């Protein structure tokens, strides 16, 4: 063919320096773009063959990636449909640059390489981020076609001449520039291919690798092995998510999890296979990992693909925030290969995908709950945080999950929210008709408050998770009519669930005032407010409590609940003196010195039971205790 020179028809003298400048931080995606193009070309010839529009032998469609450190080149070769000279002029010179003028006007708005490439169709030209010259040598599948060669040095000029390729397909040769020599490295190329091409549907070969295979037995009859060179195939062309669930066993799902996360310590609890083709296309597998009782939002654990091409592991605009705790893969051709965050936030398909995934997760949890309640309860410690996080952050998920969210009490019994309401609604009701849910966030530390509650026939919930400070408010709103939650150490039990029946105070009014005075003098702390109350004689003589409202606001402030003002306020405790306890009567009847000593000892015991007695006060308490024995 006759050699031809031309100019790429754009209105700027040189677009390539602009590409290099704005795509520099993401320059490794050039390899993703070019390998994806090669795979597309290979799939097209395969499709044409299946439709009878190509009569020749499709043959081996493996895409080859090679590099030559001495020649400073990287070559991507395929056996796809190839291109004629006219097609090269059409697809490379014109269509690829159809948005170039717009690009030059608007590139300042773009935030990253993905956004630039996605908006302006510059995928092929990402090669110029790392190359100062690019060559294409291609032979079309069309009968009688002649090989064509295209070259461009990064200016708007190009040359087309006769090519040298003798078999169908395309070679793209990148002459790597000085600033990008890091890509002329086997380990670097391997890393990029494994990141972006690990599950492409056409085999990707990158040289060879050494492997060990059986080689008979030695003289002692033990197996022998030899080292052989084999093709270094990067990808699994038929990953689990592309198959029908009916084709897969549990072991297949576990094996794929290991393929995705080879260094994971634990196996997933269960998984969801996503497969929908209307109103959008979506496939994938989401795994439920074991979630410790702390908010470990391990981002970048869900990988987003488009037609098996890796796009990103930042999926927060596609997957609801609480589902970021999951692991796995999502693949949707309705999400372009090159996406920007602004695109994701505005795209209607992305919103539909978000809602669909939320629904599928809720449906799967309901299915497990109904099929195996006992097994579900056993998994609760691993999935409870995830479900509560979802209920707090996603209203639609909360509507579905409220029937499968479990509450556990201090005796390790499990109840759904509705079941628990039925359990306590007739027993733990106060004089105003409020149904009081008692709870602890530290079973061992608050045992002194739990025991009196249990002795009265009440139940105490165990809410010791990181999100439970917020979840208590959710239960008050959604747990049932007139439900209130009170931490078991927020007051003495008689005050937490007040009844109409009143316990008479055995102390006279004068003795009560004296008891108050003695304790205030013995305690002598501005953050402790003393009250003498009529309680059961078998209850503790002194209790130290923190108001439920104030404590909850301060706890929410610690976890970023928007209550920062409360977090700066000092703690103010209530010291409840049990006026019916024999020790308090003894204190009132004692001398001033002896009474104060006993009052101080009783108060310190109350502090000790709360873990509030430390430092010099603890030392003084121990010394005083020894003296009193």
SS (HEC) of 270-286: EEEEEEECCCCCEEEEE
Query: What is the number of alpha carbons within 13 Å of residue 619 lying toward its C-beta?
Result: 2
Q: What angle do CA 153, 155, 158 make, to 5 degrees?
A: 65
Measured CA distances, 60 to 44, 63, 168, 307 (Å): 14, 9, 11, 21
Instruction: Compute φ and ψ for 377, nearest 5 degrees.
Output: -65, -40
119 annotated ligand-binding residue = no
Q: Give whole-number Cα distances, 184 to 34, 130, 181, 523, 569, in Å.
A: 16, 11, 5, 75, 60
Residue 311 sits at φ, ψ, to 5 deg, of -105, -60
Long-range contacts formed by 350-353: CB under 8 A, 24+ apart: 350/317, 350/318, 352/279, 352/280, 353/280, 353/282, 353/318
Return the closest-CA partner of residue 75 out of 127, 141, 123.
Answer: 127
CA distance between the termini of the chain: 111
170 marked among binding-site residues? yes
CA neighbor of 270 nearest in space, from 361, 359, 355, 356:
361
- The answer on whether 221 is annotated among ligand-binding residues is no
Q: Is 37 annotated as a binding residue?
A: yes
Between the CA of residue 254 and those of 114, 246, 257, 260, 288, what are the distances in Å? 32, 15, 5, 10, 12
What distance in Å separates the CA atoms of residue 418 and residue 369, rounded to the nearest whole number?
Answer: 15
The candidate with the shortest Cα–Cα distance to 205, out of 381, 64, 105, is: 64
* Beta carbons of 73 and 173 less than 8 angstroms apart: yes
> DSSP for 375-389?
HHHHHHHHHHHHHHH
CA separation for the pair 260, 305 (Å, rounded) = 13
Provide the 10 A C-beta neighbour count for residue 75. Answer: 17
What is the rounded distance in angstroms from the CA atom of residue 584 to the CA atom of residue 507?
Answer: 9
Q: Taking CA 337 as the corner, what is the angle to CA 202 and CA 340, rounded to the nearest 5 degrees?
A: 160
Q: Angle, to 10 degrees, between the axis of helix 592-610 and the axis of helix 615-628? A: 130
Quickly list H helices, 317-407: 341-346, 348-371, 373-393, 395-401
Across-strand partners of 233?
Answer: 205
99 is an annotated ligand-binding site residue: yes
Q: Residue 522: enclosing H or E segment and its boundaries?
A: helix 509-523
Tell me if 520 is assigned to a ligand binding site: no
563 is in an annotated binding site: no
The answer to whether 255 is a known ligand-binding residue is no
**What backbone phi and psi angles, to 5 degrees, belong to 612?**
-105, 0
Are the beta carbons of 288 and 362 closer than 8 angstroms? no
Residue with the two structure tokens 């009859």: 221
Cα 416 from Cα 620, distance rounded (Å)? 47
Binding residues: 33, 37, 78, 83, 98-99, 170, 341
Binding residues for ATP: 33, 37, 78, 83, 98-99, 170, 341
């Amino acid at each position: 063919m006759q050699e031809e020179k031309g100019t790429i028809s754009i209105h700027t003298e040189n677009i390539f320096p602009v590409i290099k400048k704005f795509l520099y931080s993401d320059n490794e995606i050039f390899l993703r773009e070019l390998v994806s193009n090669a795979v597309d070309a290979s799939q097209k010839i395969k499709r044409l063959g299946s439709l009878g529009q190509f009569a020749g032998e499709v043959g081996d469609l493996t895409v080859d990636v090679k590099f030559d450190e001495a020649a400073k080149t990287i070559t991507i070769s395929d056996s796809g449909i190839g291109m004629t000279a006219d097609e090269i002029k059409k697809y490379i010179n014109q269509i690829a640059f159809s948005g170039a003028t717009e690009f030059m006007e608007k590139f300042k708005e773009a935030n990253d390489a993905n956004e630039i490439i996605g908006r302006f169709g510059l995928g092929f030209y990402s090669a110029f981020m790392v190359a100062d010259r690019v060559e294409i040598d291609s032979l079309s599948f069309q009968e009688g076609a002649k090989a064509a060669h295209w070259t461009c040095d990064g200016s708007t000029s190009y040359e087309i001449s006769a090519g040298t390729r003798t078999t169908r397909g395309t070679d793209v040769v990148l002459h790597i520039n000085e600033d990008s020599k890091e890509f002329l490295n086997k380990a670097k190329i391997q890393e990029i291919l494994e990141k972006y091409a690990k599950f492409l549907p056409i085999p990707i070969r990158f040289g060879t690798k050494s492997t060990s295979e059986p080689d008979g037995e030695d003289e002692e009859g033990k197996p022998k092995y030899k080292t052989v060179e084999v093709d270094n195939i990067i990808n699994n062309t038929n990953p689990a998510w592309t198959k029908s669930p009916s084709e897969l066993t549990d072991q297949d799902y576990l094996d794929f999890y290991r393929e995705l996360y080879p260094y994971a310590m634990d196996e997933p609890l269960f998984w969801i296979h996503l497969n929908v083709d209307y109103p959008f296309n979506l496939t994938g597998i989401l795994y439920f990992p074991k979630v410790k009782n702390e908010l470990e939002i391990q981002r970048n654990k869900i990988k987003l693909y488009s037609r098996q091409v890796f796009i990103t592991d930042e999926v927060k605009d596609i997957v609801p925030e609480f589902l970021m705790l999951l692991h796995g893969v999502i693949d949707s051709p309705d999400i372009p290969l090159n996406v920007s965050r602004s695109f994701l936030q505005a795209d209607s398909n992305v919103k539909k995908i978000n809602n669909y995934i939320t629904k599928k997760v809720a449906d799967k949890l309901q299915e497990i709950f109904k099929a195996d309640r006992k097994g579900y309860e056993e998994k609760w410690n691993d999935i409870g945080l995830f479900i509560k996080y979802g209920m707090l952050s996603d209203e639609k998920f909360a509507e579905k999950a409220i029937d499968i969210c479990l509450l556990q009490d201090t005796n390790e019994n499990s109840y759904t929210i509705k079941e628990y309401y039925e359990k306590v609604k007739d027993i733990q009701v106060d004089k105003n008709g409020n149904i009081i849910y008692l709870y602890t966030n530290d079973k061992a530390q608050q045992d002194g408050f739990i025991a009196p509650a249990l002795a009265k026939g009440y139940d105490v919930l165990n809410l010791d998770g990181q999100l439970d400070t917020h979840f208590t408010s959710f239960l008050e709103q959604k747990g049932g009519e007139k439900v209130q939650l009170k931490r078991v150490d927020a007051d003495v039990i008689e005050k937490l669930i007040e009844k109409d029946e009143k316990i008479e105070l055995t102390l006279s009014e004068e003795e009560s005032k004296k008891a108050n005075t003695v304790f205030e003098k013995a305690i002598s702390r501005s953050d402790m407010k003393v009250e003498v109350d009529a309680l059961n004689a078998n209850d503790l003589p002194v209790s130290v409590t923190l108001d439920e409202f104030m404590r909850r606001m301060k706890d929410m402030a610690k976890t970023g609940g928007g209550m920062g003002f409360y977090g700066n306020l000092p703690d103010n405790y209530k010291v409840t003196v049990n006026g019916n306890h024999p020790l308090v009567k003894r204190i009132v009847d004692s001398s001033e010195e002896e009474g104060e000593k006993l009052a101080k000892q009783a108060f310190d015991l109350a502090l000790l039971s709360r873990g509030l007695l430390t430092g010099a006060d603890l030392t003084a308490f121990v010394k005083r205790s020894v003296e009193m024995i």
